[in-house]
Amino acid sequence: MGPNERRMEIIETLCHRRHETMANLAFEFGVSIRTIRNDIDILSLSYPLETIRGRYGGGVKVTDGFYINRKYLKPAQQELLERLSAQLSGDDLTVMNSIFKDFALNKKTG
């Protein structure tokens, strides 16, 4: 398995488990902890990953609400829809809220 294949499997694993230690990932993929750290550094450029220091709760986790192969709104798109949703009611508001649920990383509307 090459580095790119391994990185894709790492992000898929993290999206499924949500949180994992570097040591467990290193063992699972048969590489060193340093290699996993490098992979996480590279993946964090494209995916919302957070590294957590600590012996017992440490590791890497995926931001809440993020899932691989899911489309997300860009911030400007989300802001426009939030402004428009303030003028909606009834079924239109329900549809707009479903758009936020399906495509927005964080829903800020009320």
Return the pLDDT at 30: 96
Distance separating alpha carbons of residues 55 and 89, to the nearest angstrom: 49
**Residue position matching structure tokens 């758009």:** 99
Side-chain-side CA neighbours of residue 75 (13 Å): 0
Return the pLDDT at 67: 79
Domain covering 3-62 assigned CATH 1.10.10 in the classification: yes
pLDDT in tens, the chain (110 residues): 899 999 999 999 998 899 999 999 999 999 999 999 999 999 999 999 999 988 777 899 998 878 777 777 888 888 898 899 999 999 999 998 888 887 776 544 44
Distance of CA 28 to the CA centre of its chain: 21
Instruction: Report the chain's terminal Cα–Cα distance, integer Å.
Output: 46
Return the pLDDT at 108: 47
Q: pTM, whole model, 2 decimals? A: 0.63
Domain-wise residue ranges, the chain: 3-62, 71-110
Return the pLDDT at 105: 64
Return the pLDDT at 90: 93
Asked if 69 contacts 75 with a C-beta cutoff of 8 angstroms, the reply is no
